[in-house]
Chain A
Amino acid sequence: DTGVSQDPRHKITKRGQNVTFRCDPISEHNRLYWYRQTLGQGPEFLTYFQNEAQLEKSRLLSDRFSAERPKGSFSTLEIQRTEQGDSAMYLCASSPGRLGYYGELFFGEGSRLTVL
C-alpha cells in the first residue's frame, strides 16, 4: 500500500500524559500536513512541512503541541500534558506541492485520540 499511513489508529490516554502520533506520507510527496477534526466539524489546519521545514503553524497549535519532520520523510506530532479538549481525530495528509498542482491532499486514515 503506497498511501499515507498513520500510527496509532486509536489512542486512549489519561489527562496529563504525553502522546505521539506518526505519519508516513506518500514517498514522492514533499508536503506534509497535520489537521485536527472534532465531532461535527471539518478538518482544521494545524501545521505543514515542505520537506523538513515547518512552514506554517496555526494558532490552534498551542505550546503543548510540537511537530517534526526529520529528513523530510515521516513526521511526528507530539502533544504534551494532554487535556480533555485535545480529544479529536488527528489527520495527516501529503501532497506533491509542485507547480500546477492545485493543493489536493491525500489523507491518511487518522489517529483518534481520547483523553480521559
Chain B
Amino acid sequence: TQLLEQSPQFLSIQEGENLTVYCNSSSVFSSLQWYRQEPGEGPVLLVTVVTGGEVKKLKRLTFQFGDARKDSSLHITAAQPGDTGLYLCAGARGNTPLVFGKGTRLSVIA
C-alpha cells in the first residue's frame, strides 16, 4: 500500500499551459515537501509546507497543504520546458524517515 498517492502519474502539456498535480494520503503528516528530480540526478527540494491550509509560492509554482495535513497540490502557471521533470511529494511524521510518493512525470513541450 502506497502511503502517498500522486496523480496524475504522467502529464504532457504544451508550453504556456497551466497544470495541477496532487499528492494524497489517508495519514496526517507534520510536514510535506515537494522535490523535483531530473533524469540521472538526485531529487532537489522545492518547498516545505507545515501548517494546514498553508499556501506557498515559488515564482510560477504554487504549493498548498490541505487543511487536515493529509494532502497537497502543486500548481504551475504558464509551464515552460525547463519545468520538465519528476515531481515528488514526501511526507514527514515526527522523527520517522521521509516517505515519498511515486511522483508525477511532467513533460512540457515547446
Which of A's residues lie within 8 Å of B, judged by CB?
4, 33, 35, 40-45, 48, 56, 91, 93, 102-110, 112
Contacts and interface: CB of A to CB of B under 8 A. Distances in A.
B97 A107 contact: no
Contacts of A106: 45
A90 to B, nearest CB: 10
Contacts of B96: 56
Given A102-B33, A105-B45, 4 more contacts: A35-B100, A40-B102, A102-B48, A104-B48
Nearest to A95: B98
11 contacts: A33-B97, A35-B100, A43-B43, A45-B98, A45-B99, A56-B97, A102-B33, A103-B31, A104-B48, A109-B41, A110-B42
Nearest to B105: A40
Interface residues of B, number: 25
Interface of B: 4, 6, 30-31, 33, 35, 40-45, 48, 50, 88, 90, 92, 96-103
Given A45-B97, A56-B97, A107 B102 contact: no
B98 A105 contact: yes
Contacts of A43: 43, 88, 100
B30 A42 contact: no
Given A109-B41, A110-B41, A42 B92 contact: no
Contacts of B100: 35, 42-44
A104 B42 contact: no
Contacts of B88: 42-43
Contact of B103 (A42, A45, A91, A112): A42
Nearest to A41: B102
A31 to B, nearest CB: 9
B24 to A, nearest CB: 14
- The 3 A-B pairs at the shortest CB distance, nearest first, are namely A107-B42, A42-B100, A103-B92
B70 to A, nearest CB: 16
Interface centre among B6, B43, B45 (most CB of A within 10 A): B43
